[in-house]
Amino acid sequence: MKRELSSKLKALILDRADQRVIILEGARQVGKSYLVKDILKTFSTPVFFFDLEKDRSFSRKLDATEDFSDFKALLQDQFGVQEEGLLVIDEAQESRRLAGYVKSFKEDWPQLKVLLTGSSMNRFFGPDIRIPVGRTQSLCLFGFSFTEFVEMVKGAALSDFIRSAPSSVPSSRHALLLELFDQYLKVGGYPETVKAFAAGAPYSDVTSEIMSDCEEDFERKEAYQPELFRGIINGVANYIGSPSKLTHFPATKYHATRALEAMKAWHLVLEVEPRSLDPLRSHFLPKRYLHDLGVINQSRTLSVPQISLITTIE
């Protein structure tokens, strides 16, 4: 199915006047690779696709290049990349050298459109590399929205009805949409989880497996307090919608802050900072959320009543 971000991403790729490198971010398993490959099906221009996580040989050769000129020669001589076209590099954060070349594409290879994707792009521009101002355009992909969930479960006709924002809704359809939203609150928006739900399979197992893989990946790649992963997830889930305190997490305030910053960069934790119009009241505790509703439901360790649009009165 077509994702809602698809049109915007495709427009950026087709805009030849805009020579900025496109960076597509998002948590693992939200559909970044599927989105890109689905868009590429419609392209007639040459496309050169590399996955740094799967193609270790290419990744090693890329990191062995000395400068951008050497990098360009490598792509052209050994991997058939042409002077014009679209270069797509998936899991771009796996390269130690690639971030240093981003600033050079605009001047030294302007005919080539570049798209980089990754789930932990906070590691892409490391502490030794300055983010090239005005040289990148970033997009973030999340799991299915409610409308996308409806399209996967019930088909395009009902999702198109929602997108049309009608002034009135038939009573039976309104009741169905409320029921579907209750289901969305439980299932969440991971594409593979929603597919399992639509097929009548045990969807919660899919979410659990995705989070286990994500935890393993986080612990492998984050050098600072990676073992706090589960504690941060549970702590955020337990206090969704309420002011979030560092004491909600099983760590010192310093360690909890560092782990939270890392998980925000991985797009697993979202943070909202309330602001007051009153200058005398300038500080409020932030509110923190998780990237997926299904993960929230599975991660709560406190006894919290289930909320339903249909049955919850207060």
Tokens of 82: 């042409």
CA atoms within 13 A on the CB side of 215: 15
List every span in the chain annotated with CATH 3.40.50.300.
6-140
What CATH number labels 204-299? Answer: 1.10.10
E-strand spans in the chain? 21-25, 47-51, 85-90, 112-118, 136-140, 269-272, 287-290
List every span in the chain annotated with CATH 1.10.10.
204-299
Cα separation, 302 vs 314, in Å, equals: 20
The dihedral formed by the CA atoms of 265, 269, 270 and 276, expressed in degrees to the nearest 10:
-100
pLDDT tens for the chain, residues 1 to 314: 789 999 999 999 999 889 899 999 999 999 999 999 999 988 888 999 999 989 999 999 999 999 999 999 999 999 999 999 999 999 998 898 999 999 999 889 999 999 999 887 767 877 677 778 888 999 999 999 999 999 999 999 999 999 999 999 999 999 999 999 999 999 999 999 999 999 999 999 999 999 999 999 888 888 677 789 999 999 999 998 899 999 999 999 999 999 999 899 899 999 998 887 777 776 788 999 999 999 999 998 877 666 677 776 55
Output the pLDDT for position 314: 54
CB contact at 8 A, 168 and 21: no
Q: Is 221 exposed, middle or buried (0-12, 13-18, 19+ CB in 10 A)?
A: middle
Output the pLDDT for position 313: 57
End-to-end CA distance of the chain: 36
Q: Which fold has domain 6-140?
A: Rossmann fold (3.40.50)
Output the pLDDT for position 282: 66
